[in-house]
Structure formats: C-alpha cells, structure tokens
Amino acid sequence: MSDPKLGGISFTDMSGFQLDEAYVQPGELIRIKIPVMNNNHGEALPAGSCKIKIGLGSKLVLDPAYDLNSAAMSSYFRWTSAMNSGQLQVTGELTAPLPANVDDVVVAFKVMGTAVGKSTVTANFLVSNHNTRTIVSDEDGTNNTSFIHYTVTNKPAPVSVTSINEIVKDGCTMRVSFSTDQEINLSRYEVEVSKDGTAFEKVSSISAAGNLTYAASFELPAALQAQKLFVRIKAVMVNARTLFSDTKNTNGLCKKTAIRLSLYPNPASGISKVTINAAEGYFDGKYRLKMMDMAGKTVVTKDVTLAGVQNFGFEFGNIAAGKYLVQVSDEANAVLGVLKFEKL
C-alpha cells in the first residue's frame, strides 16, 4: 500500500514571487510549482511504480530554451513532453525509489503563455506499476490530483489597492484605519504624512499579515503638525516595489491640553534663571514670556519656540531683589498663566 499525492499548484515569476494566475501575460516566463508527497508508511515508492502527468492546458507551453533534464526531482523522475489532445503534456516516470514521508519537494517547470484565453493546468500522481516487480496499490485515490485555472491576457494584473477608511485624532495621537483588496507579495504598509502634499514622512509601519483591514496609531510629531495634513498608505512589496493609496486630508493640529504652570526655584537668591514647568499639559509652539515688577512695569520680555516639552529655562539676567510676576502667553496672545516669583 502507498499514498502518493500532490499539493496545490501555484504560479511564480522567475524570481519566485507569486503571480496572479488570472493575469498571465503572453510570452511571460513563469514557473509552475507542484508539491509532490509520499506518505508510504515508512517505505519508499518503488522505481517504475508511478508516473506524474501534467497537462499545461491549451494556452501554455514549455519555454523553448528550457531543458527538462534540469527540472526539479530529475534524480527521481525522467521527464518527457508531448502534445496530447490539444495540450502539451509533461510526464515524469519514477526511475529511482522515492523516499518515504516526502512532504516538502516541489516540481517546477519553466513555461510561457502562447495564446490569449482561459485554460487549466492539471496534474496527476498515478500508480501505474509499469516497470516494477513490486505491485503497488494506492491507499487514498482522492489526493492524487491537483489543478489550477489560469487566464492568459494582455491586461496587467491589478495592483493591491489600499484605501484609507478613517482617520481619528485624539490630542496628538492619530489612528489611521485602512483596507486592502489583495496581498500578493506584500511585505509591509507604511503610513506617511505631509504638510504640503509633496514631501511625505513615514510615521508608522505594519507588517502585511493577510488581513482585509489594518489600523495604525502614532503620535503626531510637532514638525508635522499643520492646519491641513495629507495622509497616505505606502504598500511595500517583497521585491521592494512600492504602491500608494489615494491621499486623504485631515486636521493636523493637536488639541492641546490646558497647561497648569509652576515655577522654581521660588523664592531664590543669587540666580539669573528659573525653570517654568507644565504641571499639566506641555509646551508646543511659540510663547512670549514677560517679567513685570509689582507696579506692572515690564522688566524682561522674551519669545521662545518649544516642541512638546514639559519645562524650559527662563533667563531673566541681573534683576534687583524683590517680588515679580511672570506672564506666559501663547502665539495668539492668550495668557496661559501669571506666576509669582520672589528674588531674595
């Protein structure tokens, strides 16, 4: 008893990348891959007991420059080809014992499309007992065949179309959800954003995992915040080719948390600088600092530009001992807070 069987047939290009069998190009060199297995209970399949017959259908032929003697598993099968019922048939005669428990060997042939139209590749791993003294019986006759429908066409295979479904922003955290219609040979997705729609920067990356939808969350950096932000998805294929989704616009300004201010050291002597701290929220943007005496006279004015920090130093120089007020305003001249400071 034996159990020769075949796995699912697939098409790849000559570099091994999977092809869409519905878009085989005329004259395109492709490789047909057929997994061959032997579950023979610890026994090798005897030489001369089996044959593999592969029909290429009416639209495929072997590459004229391809030598069947170089085909995979040539040490076990003697490969020949001939026309049969309007299609090229490749036959492999088992000429050496096929080891037991083979489950990861692939037969591959170099073929090309010759005519536009639809057809089918069929494969059969048959117990033939044509040249052996050991009579072999097939334990399971339902797993000896495999097939794949294909189309030779001048239409190019459709690229993986990625669509942005939704962009949700909470403060400076942005969540982009997107979908894809197919993932043939895709490696990863990269979320890119731009302030001008021309120069894009990567802000997140997700590995392709065969899903229909994905979501990426990331903190929007201060350098990319703008009233109008452009977002797109870049799909990167395993051969490094890149495909882009349509661009979607969103508001790229963070909703800032109200800042609660503090100042230290306070009181202090012998210093010319204090630290202004955001006990809640953070500083991100342009700010004006104004130090006034208790009569309201301005002593020091400074403008600072900060990017997502919780504290910064305010250099006021050499001032007389006394009590002062430090006013912090944003670029819209909104007063964020007034802090009391005393120099001893």
Tally Cβ neighbours within 10 Å of residue 70. 9
Task: Return the C-alpha torsion angle 308, 310, 315, 319, nearest 10.
Answer: 140
* Residue 285 DSSP SS3: strand
If we measure between CA atoms, which residue out of 143, 102, 126 comes closest to residue 54?
Answer: 126
DSSP per residue over 213-238, as a string?
A: EEEEEEE--GGG--SSEEEEEEEEET
pLDDT in tens, 201-237: 999 999 998 888 999 999 888 888 887 889 999 988 8
pLDDT at 113: 85
**Mean pLDDT in residue range 102-122:** 82
> CB within 8 A of 128, min separation 6: which ones?
49, 50, 51
Buried b (16+ CB within 10 A) or exposed e, 117-147: eebbbbbebbbebeebeeebebeeeebbebe
Environment class of 89 (CB within 10 Å of its CB; exposed 0-12, middle 13-18, buried 19+): middle
pTM assigned to the model? 0.55
Distance of CA 262 to the CA centre of its chain: 45
pLDDT at 92: 94
Dihedral angle sign, alpha carbons of residues 74, 80, 85, 88: positive
- Give CA–CA dist 263/82, Å, rounded: 90
When pLDDT is cut at 50, 70 and 90, the band that residue 258 belongs to is: low
Average pLDDT of every residue of the chain: 87
* Residue 260 DSSP SS3: strand
Buried b (16+ CB within 10 A) or exposed e, 313-335: ebebeeeeeeebebbbbbeeeee
Examine the pLDDT at 120 and tell me if it is beyond 90: yes
- Give CA–CA dist 95/76, Å, rounded: 6
Examine the pLDDT at 115 and tell me if it is beyond 70: yes
Phi, psi of 90 (to 5 degrees): -105, 130
Q: Which residues pair with 35 in a beta bridge?
A: 106
pLDDT in tens, 79-89: 999 999 999 99
Domains of the chain as residue ranges with CATH: 4-152 (2.60.40.740), 162-250 (2.60.40.10), 260-343 (2.60.40.1220)
